[in-house]
């Protein structure tokens, strides 16, 4: 049973460019969340997708956008990259039905470096 998979694992971009990161959720999961983790900090919530719609959003500018596909996979897009966007981007999946564990399953992340 594959867990959460993310691609690419590492990438380097220059300021002003655009980047797309991809995530496939754990089998049976229909909700995907994205987090940004700067060096030495805890992950910060970007947004969450369920039923192909953005359901929650953290304190991130509109340069950060996303999409969820019918197969539940998701993309994170960042436009007009800034140096401060350099971080580890984590994808997490979960089930939308009410449950008691509240467990999120995280991928290994995509390490973005902006030069």
Partner 1 sequence: DAKTTQPPSMDCAEGRAANLPCNHSTISGNEYVYWYRQIHSQGPQYIIHGLKNNETNEMASLIITEDRKSSTLILPHATLRDTAVYYCIVRDAKITGANSKLTFGKGITLSVRP
Site residues for partner 1 per CB under 8 A: 4, 29-31, 33, 35, 40-45, 48, 50-51, 55-56, 58, 90, 92, 94-99, 101-109
Nearer to partner 1, 53 or 62 (CB): 53
Helix (H, G, I), strand (E, B) or coil at 30: coil
* Minimum distance of partner 1 from residue 104's CB (angstroms): 6
Nearer to partner 1, 15 or 51 (CB): 51
Nearer to partner 1, 19 or 72 (CB): 72
Going by their DSSP bridges, the two strands 10-13 and 110-114 should be labelled as parallel
23, 31, 34, 42 from 26: Cα distances, Å: 10, 10, 14, 22
Q: Which two tokens stand for residue 32?
A: 């995907």
């Amino acid at each position: 049973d594959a867990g959460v998979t993310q691609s690419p694992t590492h990438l380097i971009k220059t300021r002003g460019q655009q980047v797309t990161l991809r995530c496939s959720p754990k089998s049976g999961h229909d909700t995907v969340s994205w987090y940004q983790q700067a060096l030495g900090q805890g992950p910060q919530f970007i947004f969450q997708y369920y039923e192909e719609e953005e359901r929650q959003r953290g304190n991130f500018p509109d340069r950060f956008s996303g999409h969820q596909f019918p197969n539940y996979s998701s993309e994170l897009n960042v436009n007009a990259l800034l140096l401060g966007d350099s971080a580890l981007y984590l994808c997490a999946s979960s089930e939308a039905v009410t449950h008691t564990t509240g467990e999120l399953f995280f991928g290994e992340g995509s390490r973005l470096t902006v030069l």
